[in-house]
């Protein structure tokens, strides 16, 4: 299980290697992503709270990257944070996510990105529920829910 200390280590010393890499030009991403997903994922935007389609999703399944379809989170680690964004306590695999220190807006936060295609997903905070104490706060637009038993 990942802890805040390990995440800070990833920020400082480098992220774990992904299973594979998906790289596209900005024009290619613009072609395949919905406009809101493009704004969030490739321009580091944030969707308005309580607007995301996956915010109140409770179906069993995996939350895949909307850009490259890599599984990022799953429904068993989703929790209701009350923030208005889908929230998780752990990634599905340790190397699914990359972490970077984000100093935007005068705050020091840890940005989380898809480790396969570098898409912006959201941020992670050290105020989640035990045992990990982590709260991954993720934009709905960055993910696609693959319901258990279905194929995308
Ligand atoms: Zn991705």
The model's pLDDT over 95-139, given as tens digits with 9 standing for 90+, comes to: 999 999 988 888 889 999 999 999 999 999 999 999 999 999 999
Cα–Cα distance measured from residue 146 to residue 5, given in angstroms and rounded to the nearest whole number: 30
Q: How confident is the model at residue 142 (pLDDT cuts 50, 70, 90)?
A: very high
Cα–Cα distance measured from residue 152 to residue 3, given in angstroms and rounded to the nearest whole number: 31
The model's pLDDT over 80-98, given as tens digits with 9 standing for 90+, comes to: 999 999 999 999 999 999 9
Cα–Cα distance measured from residue 32 to residue 78, given in angstroms and rounded to the nearest whole number: 27
Cα–Cα distance measured from residue 62 to residue 1, given in angstroms and rounded to the nearest whole number: 18
Q: How confident is the model at residue 34 (pLDDT cuts 50, 70, 90)?
A: very high
> If you measure from the C-alpha of residue 96 to the centroid of ligand 1, how many angstroms do you get, rounded to a whole number?
9
> If you measure from the C-alpha of residue 2 to the centroid of ligand 1, how many angstroms do you get, rounded to a whole number?
20
- State yes or no: pLDDT of 152 exceeds 60: no
Catalytic residue among 55, 68, 114, 137: 137
Q: Is the Cβ–Cβ distance between 53 and 138 less than 8 Å?
A: no
Task: Report residue 113 as tokens.
Answer: 């990105």
List the helix and strand counts (H, then E) for the chain: 3, 9
- Is 11 among the residues known to form the active site? no
> If you measure from the C-alpha of residue 135 to the centroid of ligand 1, how many angstroms do you get, rounded to a whole number?
20
> If you measure from the C-alpha of residue 63 to the centroid of ligand 1, how many angstroms do you get, rounded to a whole number?
11
Cα–Cα distance measured from residue 59 to residue 145, given in angstroms and rounded to the nearest whole number: 9
């Amino acid at each position: 299980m990942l802890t805040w200390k390990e995440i800070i280590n990833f920020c400082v010393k480098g992220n774990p290697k992904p299973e594979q890499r998906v790289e596209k030009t900005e024009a290619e991403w613009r072609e395949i992503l919905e406009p809101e997903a493009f704004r969030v994922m490739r321009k580091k935007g944030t969707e308005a709270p309580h607007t995301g389609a996956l915010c109140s999703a409770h179906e069993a399944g995996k939350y895949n990257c909307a850009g490259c379809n890599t599984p990022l989170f799953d429904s068993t680690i989703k929790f209701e944070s009350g923030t208005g964004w889908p929230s998780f306590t752990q990634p599905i695999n340790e190397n699914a996510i990359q972490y970077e220190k984000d100093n935007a807006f005068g705050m020091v936060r840890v940005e989380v990105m898809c480790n396969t295609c570098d898409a912006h997903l959201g941020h992670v905070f050290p105020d989640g529920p035990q045992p990990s104490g982590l709260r991954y706060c993720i934009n709905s637009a960055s993910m696609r829910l693959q319901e258990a038993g279905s194929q995308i």
